[in-house]
Amino acid sequence: MFSEILLDLMREKQINQRQLALQADIPPTTISGWINAGRLPDYNALIKLSKFFDVSADYLLGLTD
| Whole-number Å distance between alpha carbons of 55 and 18 | 20
**pLDDT tens-digit profile of 7-65?**
999 999 999 999 999 999 999 999 999 999 999 999 999 999 999 999 999 999 999 98
Q: Give the global pTM.
A: 0.92
- According to CATH, the topology of domain 2-60 is 434 Repressor (Amino-terminal Domain) (1.10.260)
Predicted local confidence at residue 15, as pLDDT: 98
Give the Cα-Cα-Cα angle 50, 35, 64 (nearest 5 degrees): 40
Residue 3 pLDDT exceeds 90: yes
CB 23 within 8 A of CB 52: yes
